[in-house]
């Protein structure tokens, strides 16, 4: 087993880390204070990211992307965890691989402009009654000749106001349960399609979240993404790596940055005539955070390598999602404790990290749902999830 980065991987990580430090870190406080990212800043980030080859790095080279392996993608996403959500979105692009399932015509119309940064899109699966239970969606699409009529509502859609189009799930066969869900590409501005106001969140300042409303929106046959009835399957197959990246890797990166700041504070802050880092209870919290981050990182890399070998790794992805998100929660909670009042003070970074970290245990499936996925696999006979030599 090899745990050392190659020269190419080291260069990728160090280049990206410099980009984040120069281009993104100076904007974090501005975003936190104003709740938005200026258009000119967003445009500059996009241009500079594309010039360095960071934009849409997860998309295959033949479609204009970076063509990264899963492991290399996780290395990139871990570094992006060092900064704020909205800045990641503008620098990396959030070009979801689900569009790779499209026809050549669909890829030409929607995927390629997204890879080039000319169009942006969001995934719209979540509904008021369908969060972790994606199969219970109520949005419908019924046929009328060659046209689909889309009706329903999606909620908490990130970047809704910024996006040009959306990938939307809808029930197309009421009798077929989860096999009756299909996926559609829906352009903004269609008659009957409205976007609600921004829903402010506890964290993730600068990223808008809004409801989408579809009132008999007419869609052409070219908007059906993948085979009819394969919408849920398509989502599960293509969004697993996204979950591993945007939750697992970013959570680990964010926890690492928080621990860096916490260690520096423990060295500098003095009480009773000594740096607080000399107190055993502080040392225990630092050590626990370091051990948990390393364990989560190794699980992330192992899962990424498994995917690169051709494995689906669905349960392993769930394990990393839970482990990384909960590690982040514990690391930032300890950071607040070690920073004391300055960790709780609004306007200082640890308080922001604390708020941002909480959502990681909720979106893309709650910790409880993913534990259920893992447990069901174990009960069906999957010792390889915890035993290296199990067959």
pLDDT digits (tens, 9 = 90+) for 269-286: 999 999 999 999 999 999
For every residue of the chain, which 3-state class applies, written as one string? CCCCCCHHHHHHHHHHHHHHHHHHHHHHHHHHHHCCCCHHHHHHHHHHHHHHCCCCCCCCHHHCCCCCCHHHHHHHHHHHCCCCHHHHHHHHCCCCHHHHHCCHHHHHHHHHHHHCCCCCEEEECCECCECCCHHHCCCEEEEECCEEEEEEEEEEEECCCCCCEEEEEEECCCCCHHHHEEEEEEECCCCCEEECCCCCCCCCCCCCEEEEEEEEEEECHHHEECCCCEHHHHHHHHHHHHHHHHHHHHHHHHHHHHHHHHHHHHHHCEECCEEHHHCHHHHHHHHHHHHHHHHHHHHHHHHHHHHHCCCCCHHHHHHHHHHHHHHHHHHHHHHHHHHCHHHHCCCCHHHHHHHHHHHHHCCCCCHHHHHHHHHHHHHHHCHHHCCCCCC
Query: Which CATH topology does 7-115 take?
Result: Butyryl-Coa Dehydrogenase, subunit A; domain 1 (1.10.540)
Q: Which two three-digit tokens encode residue 151?
A: 């009706």
Higher-pLDDT residue of 42 and 241 is 42
Span 245-274, average pLDDT: 97
Q: Cα separation of 57 and 74, whole Å?
A: 11
Span 160-174, average pLDDT: 95
State the virtual CA torsion across 116, 213, 186, 217 in degrees, nearest 10.
-150
Name the residue among 158, 170, 150 with its Cα closest to residue 235.
170
Name the residue among 369, 298, 286 with its Cα closest to residue 330.
286
Span 289-297, average pLDDT: 98
Per-residue pLDDT, 377: 96
Span 67-77, average pLDDT: 95
Instruction: Look at residue 154 and tell me whether its pLDDT is greater than 60.
Output: yes
Per-residue pLDDT, 166: 98
Per-residue pLDDT, 4: 84
Instruction: Look at residue 11 and tell me whether its pLDDT is greater than 80.
Output: yes
Instruction: Look at residue 208 and tell me whether its pLDDT is greater than 70.
Output: yes
| CATH architecture group of domain 239-385 | Up-down Bundle (1.20)
Per-residue pLDDT, 281: 97
The model's pLDDT over 118-136, given as tens digits with 9 standing for 90+, comes to: 999 999 999 998 766 767 8
Per-residue pLDDT, 385: 92
Average pLDDT of the chain is 94
Name the residue among 104, 105, 79 with its Cα closest to residue 92.
79
Instruction: Look at residue 391 and tell me whether its pLDDT is greater than 70.
Output: no
For the segment(s) 121-232, the CATH number from 2.60.40.1180, 2.160.10.10, 1.20.1370.10, 2.40.110.10 is: 2.40.110.10
pLDDT band at 240 (very low <50, low <70, confident <90, very high): confident
State percent of the chain over pLDDT 90. 87
Residue 266 contacts residue 277 (beta carbons within 8 Å): yes
The domain limits of the chain are 7-115, 121-232, 239-385
Q: Please, which residues have CB within 8 angstroms of residue 371's CB and are 6 or more apart in sequence? A: 318, 322
pLDDT band at 1 (very low <50, low <70, confident <90, very high): low
Higher-pLDDT residue of 196 and 94 is 196
Instruction: Look at residue 374 and tell me whether its pLDDT is greater than 70.
Output: yes
Span 16-37, average pLDDT: 95
Per-residue pLDDT, 294: 97
Higher-pLDDT residue of 253 and 93 is 253
């Amino acid at each position: 087993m090899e745990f050392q980065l190659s020269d190419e991987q080291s260069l990728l990580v160090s280049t990206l880390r410099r980009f984040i430090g120069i281009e993104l870190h100076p904007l974090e406080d501005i975003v936190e204070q104003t709740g938005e990212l200026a258009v000119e800043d967003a445009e500059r980030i996009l241009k500079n990211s594309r010039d360095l080859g960071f934009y849409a790095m997860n998309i295959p080279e033949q479609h204009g992307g970076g063509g990264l392996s899963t492991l290399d993608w996780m290395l990139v996403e871990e570094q992006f965890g060092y900064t704020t959500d909205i800045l990641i979105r503008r620098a990396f692009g959030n070009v979801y691989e689900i569009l790779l399932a499209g026809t050549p015509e669909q890829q030409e119309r929607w995927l390629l402009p997204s890879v080039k940064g000319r169009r942006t899109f969001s995934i719209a699966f979540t509904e008021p009654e369908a969060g972790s239970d994606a199969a219970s969606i109520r949005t419908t699409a019924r046929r009328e000749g060659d046209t689909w009529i889309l009706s329903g509502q999606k909620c908490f859609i990130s970047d809704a106001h910024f996006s040009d189009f959306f990938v939307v799930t809808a029930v197309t066969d009421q009798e077929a349960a989860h096999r009756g869900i299909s996926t559609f590409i829906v352009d903004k501005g269609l008659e009957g399609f409205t976007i609600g106001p921004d829903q402010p969140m506890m964290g993730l300042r600068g990223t808008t979240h809004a409801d989408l409303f579809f009132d008999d929106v007419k869609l052409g046959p070219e908007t059906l993404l993948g085979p009819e009835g394969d919408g849920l399957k398509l989502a599960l197959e293509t969004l697993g790596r996204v979950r591993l990246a945007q939750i697992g890797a970013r959570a680990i990166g964010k926890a690492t940055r928080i621990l860096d700041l916490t260690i520096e504070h423990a060295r500098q802050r003095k009480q009773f005539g000594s740096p607080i880092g000399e107190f055993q209870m502080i040392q225990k919290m630092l050590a626990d955070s370091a051990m948990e981050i390393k364990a989560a990182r190794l699980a992330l890399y192992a899962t990424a390598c498994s995917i690169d070998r051709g494995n689906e790794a669905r349960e392993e992805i769930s394990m990393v999602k839970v482990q990384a998100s909960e590690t982040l929660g514990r690391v930032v909670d300890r950071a607040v404790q070690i920073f004391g009042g300055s960790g709780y003070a609004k306007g200082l970074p640890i308080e922001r990290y604390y708020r941002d970290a909480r959502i990681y245990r909720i979106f893309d499936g709650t910790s409880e749902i993913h534990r259920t996925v893992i447990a069901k696999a174990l009960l069906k006979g999957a010792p390889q999830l915890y035993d290296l030599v199990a067959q």
